[in-house]
Chain A
Amino acid sequence: MDKGSLLAILIGGLLVNNFVLSQFLGICPFLGVSTELRSAVGMSLAVIFVMLMASAATWPIYTYLLVPNDLAYLQTIAFILIIAALVQLVEIALKRFIPPLYKSLGIYLPLITTNCAVLGVTILNIDSGYGFVQSLVNALGAGLGFMLAMVMFAGVRERLESADIPSGLKGLPITLISASLVSVSFLGFQGLFGL
């Protein structure tokens, strides 16, 4: 399959180069919010939404504003500011329209600003030379991959709660070791479609 085709990009972000488990982007919310299925889903939806919006906003700004004016080196600063503004917007919208979700996401919503997955996907779009539509599909694949990892891992963690674990390993160490095992399962997708 052609590497630039939309399906290949989507599957690539979702399974083969899963953002969380293969590229280590967005680990903080992955470890922080995945204790409960409900908040994991909410957080993932927020991330998918912000990723799509951020890709839609940063690609034209980079291509039509920064590059023609020889300002490509401002990429990092420009992108992080766009994302910060977007997150603020999402926060206001959630507070106004879906207060229970706003409550359950708590402090993690502002943290999306400093979520490397969101900034990462926008920079990857540019680095990989994707066009506008390809960028959006890449963002969607990455976001869905994030959601898949979060939801799967929330299930694992709910089981961990009741498991009998050596005292020193309780909490974060056992969580990371379980994440390692989940990550092994994603190795199976390596080489899928020649990606």
Chain B
Amino acid sequence: MNRYGKEFTKGILRENPVLRLVLGTCPTLAVTTAAVNGLGMGAAATFVLVCSNIVISLLRKVIPDKVRLPAYIVIIAGFTTIVQMLVKAYLPSIDQALGIYLPLIVVNCIILGRAEAFASKNSVGLSTLDGLGMGAGFTASLVVMGSIRELLGNGTLFGWPENGLLPPITIFVLPAGGFFVFGMLIYLANKLSHRLDKDAAKKELGTQVCAACPMASSCHTAGACETGQSNPVTEPDSKEVKENG
């Protein structure tokens, strides 16, 4: 996969801002009482994230290093205000549901985090893709979490069907349920990502060892030979991966 594809897809699972980097937890927990709220919040935050990434990337050589954070915050606050006005005008019900969390997009750590860690150092194209990928990851996590909480807590999914599919367990739409579902989702994401990391590491390890192997040209078991499989020094430490989460 080329660089551009990589920058886009990394935000969706491997570096998912909510489930892997654990950023932007406040809106994640607060607005996910229904799937549609999660979708609205995700879309609004993605808009701000992509726009601010583009502008910050364009201005990265103009903004002096010392005042970069205030400058980023002003840019982000500007786009947040635009989103606030748009949502208020065209989607009043979403505005009602998101309430105070809509202006609070400005202090969403994902957005400032990407500005500082990525957009301030990379080209406009890459920053746009990074913003889109991270936004997609954020939105996906919110929708998944909103769906789970809505289904269990209210018995519906995106407000359908009216009478509910399941008997509602109200605690899931209460704050306590938010913490609980979020904890379980992070657990699952860690497990999944851990497995992916292990597979990837094994593959990489194989090619590295094979490159140094004098028999490489005549070998057909690429990456699966004995030297490639059991190397205690370079095997990724499972404990470390878990602690990072």
**Is there an interface contact between B100 and A120, defined as CB atoms closer than 8 Å?**
yes
Name A's interface SS.
helix
Shortest C-beta distance, B234 to chain A (Å), equals 23
- B81 nearest CB neighbor, chain A only: A76
**Is there an interface contact between A171 and B26, defined as CB atoms closer than 8 Å?**
no
- Contact partners of B175 in chain A: CB under 8 A: 21-24, 183, 186
Size category of the binding interface on chain B: 35 or more
Shortest C-beta distance, A127 to chain B (Å), equals 7
- Contact partners of B243 in chain A: CB under 8 A: 170-171
- Give the number of residues in A that approach B within 8 Å (Cβ atoms): 44
Shortest C-beta distance, B180 to chain A (Å), equals 4
Distance A167 CA – B191 CA, assembled complex (angstroms) = 11
**Is there an interface contact between B81 and A187, defined as CB atoms closer than 8 Å?**
no
- B174 nearest CB neighbor, chain A only: A187
For window 173-196 of B, CB contacts with A under 8 Å fall at: 174-180, 182-184, 186-187, 190-191
Interface status of A169 (Cβ within 8 A of chain B): yes
- Contact partners of B22 in chain A: CB under 8 A: 31, 172
For window 6-46 of A, CB contacts with B under 8 Å fall at: 21-28, 31
**Is there an interface contact between B81 and A176, defined as CB atoms closer than 8 Å?**
no
Count of chain A to chain B residue pairs whose CB atoms are closer than 8 Å in the complex: 121
Q: Given that A77-B77, A80-B107, A173-B183 are contacting pairs, would A116 and B26 also be in contact in the complex, using a CB cutoff of 8 Å?
A: yes
- Contact partners of A31 in chain B: CB under 8 A: 22, 25
Q: CB-defined interface of B73-85 with A at 8 Å, one 1/0 digit per residue? A: 1100110110011
**Is there an interface contact between A28 and B109, defined as CB atoms closer than 8 Å?**
yes
Interface status of A81 (Cβ within 8 A of chain B): yes
CB-defined A-B contacts under 8 Å, sample of 21: A28-B25, A28-B109, A75-B103, A76-B77, A77-B78, A77-B81, A81-B70, A116-B108, A119-B104, A169-B183, A171-B242, A173-B187, A173-B190, A176-B183, A177-B179, A179-B179, A180-B179, A180-B183, A183-B176, A183-B179, A187-B176
Q: Which residues of A are in contact with B by a Cβ distance under 8 Å?
A: 21-28, 31, 73-77, 80-81, 84, 113-116, 119-120, 123-124, 127, 167-177, 179-181, 183-184, 186-187
